[in-house]
């Protein structure tokens, strides 16, 4: 059966074209997973449970980046294979273990200081474990992408998203039990990961046995640390308004904020997955250290910036016109009072897409230590002003905070990237 699954996943006559198609499908599924579950949950369980699931998904997304440690970008752009797959796998074992401990620690903190009840505690922990599966299988997907088979990786991931949504939503409709639905969703996710991602990982990695050599592990952890911190802070910055709402407002307000936040999140996520297939290509152009290839790389970067601008403009057009009625219909809740906030958040979503793209290119050109400063400044600002903004201005404060922080971050990363490219250009001329 396992060989049959592998044959099905690898079947294509055009791997590169298949990678783009399946990457787009995977991007859409990743973008709609939380909204689809919230859409069903609001109708079956009400706005309160939707608010609980929203903060659970936000916390789990943050923890997932702790598990991934930012090494997917580094691994997929490691075209010279400085580190072996077993070494990447060993580090992922360690970081995912830390992810579990951190998730448990956050839930205990919530119970002690944020008055989480048992149900909320368990739901957050379960959703964190759902993201644990994604964080762990990501090391296998990175290997597939490194070997030119991003299409296989995205098929594995897409299948997991579909199964998670189907199982969770069907059980919500049948039982109206959020805890049971999320538990079953986790079980199905683990089974799917073993049959696809881990099964394929053995084929591309040669061995599933992780390597824990001290020198290589330490070096890889050092190399990945700036990327990890940057991505971790990126997610924290994006979710800072949600954490502030969780600390000082109601579950219902949390749900409404997440309803209008979803379109912006989708813009950022879709833009990210659009340029995900070309990371390895960017890396190959960069490491060649040839003037003509460098010029080609710069043109590709400019082209991607225009694509992100187009996606953002389309998102804003939808927000101005049918955004509010559409969101109200999809989630079964009246959000007509939040049109201004939706438009502000959509601007922030576009800036998030730019920030993520600039950070990816900075990683490829190995300037991740410098970009860490940009994220640290933005995260520090979010940490100190998010709660006062939300306490004083509510959802409007949360929306403005998100847009301003993301804009500042994108500008700082752009300047860093511009300086790096100018320096390389001078060296090649």
**For residue range 361-416, what is the model confidence (pLDDT) as tens digits?**
887 777 777 788 888 899 999 989 998 999 888 899 999 999 999 999 999 999 99
Which among 377, 405, 413 is positioned nearest to 301, based on CA atoms?
413
Q: Which pLDDT belongs to residue 205?
A: 67
Q: 């082209």: which residue's tokens?
A: 303
pTM of the model: 0.82
Q: Which of 50-59, 303-312, 408-417 has the lowest mean pLDDT?
A: 303-312
Q: Which pLDDT belongs to residue 193?
A: 95
Tokens, residue 234: 């990126």
Q: Which of 179-188, 277-286, 412-421 has the lowest mean pLDDT?
A: 277-286
Mean of the per-residue pLDDT values of the chain: 88
Q: Which pLDDT belongs to residue 340?
A: 92
């Amino acid at each position: 059966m396992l060989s049959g699954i592998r044959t099905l996943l690898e079947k294509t006559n055009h791997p590169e074209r298949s990678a783009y198609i399946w990457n787009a499908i995977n991007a859409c599924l990743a973008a709609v997973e939380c909204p689809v579950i919230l859409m069903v949950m609001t109708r079956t369980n009400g706005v309160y449970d939707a608010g609980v699931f929203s903060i659970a998904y936000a916390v789990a997304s943050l923890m997932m980046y702790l598990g991934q440690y930012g090494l997917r970008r580094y691994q997929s752009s490691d075209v010279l294979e400085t580190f072996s797959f077993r070494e990447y796998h060993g580090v992922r074992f360690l970081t995912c273990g830390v992810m579990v401990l951190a998730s448990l620690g956050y839930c205990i903190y919530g119970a002690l200081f944020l008055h989480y009840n048992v149900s909320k505690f368990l739901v957050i922990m379960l959703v964190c474990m759902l993201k644990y599966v994604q964080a762990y299988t990501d090391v296998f997907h990175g290997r597939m992408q490194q070997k030119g088979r991003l299409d296989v990786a995205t098929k594995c991931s897409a299948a997991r998203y579909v199964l998670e949504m189907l199982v969770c939503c069907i059980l919500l409709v049948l039982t109206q039990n959020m805890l049971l639905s999320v538990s079953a969703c986790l079980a199905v996710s683990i089974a799917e990961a073993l049959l696809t991602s881990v099964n394929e990982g053995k084929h591309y990695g040669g061995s599933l046995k992780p390597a824990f050599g001290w020198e290589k592990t330490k070096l890889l952890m050092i190399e990945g640390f700036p990327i990890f911190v940057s991505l971790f802070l990126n997610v924290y910055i994006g979710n800072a308004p949600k954490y502030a709402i969780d600390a000082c407002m109601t579950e219902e307000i949390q749900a409404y904020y997440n309803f209008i936040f979803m379109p912006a999140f989708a813009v950022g996520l879709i833009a990210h997955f659009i340029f995900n297939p070309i990371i390895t290509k960017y890396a190959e152009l960069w490491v060649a250290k040839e003037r003509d290839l460098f010029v080609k790389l710069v043109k590709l970067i400019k082209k991607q910036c225009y694509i992100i601008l187009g996606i953002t403009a389309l998102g804003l057009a939808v927000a101005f016109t049918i955004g509010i009625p559409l969101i109200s219909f999809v989630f079964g809740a009246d959000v007509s009072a939040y049109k201004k906030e939706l438009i502000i958040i959509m601007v922030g979503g576009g800036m998030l897409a730019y920030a993520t793209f600039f950070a990816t290119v900075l990683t490829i050109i190995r300037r991740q230590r410098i970009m860490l400063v940009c994220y640290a400044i933005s995260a520090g600002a979010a940490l100190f002003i998010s709660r006062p903004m939300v306490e004083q201005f509510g959802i409007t404060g949360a929306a403005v905070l998100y847009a301003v922080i993301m804009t500042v971050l994108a500008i700082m990363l752009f300047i860093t990237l511009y300086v790096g490219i100018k320096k390389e250009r001078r060296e090649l001329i």
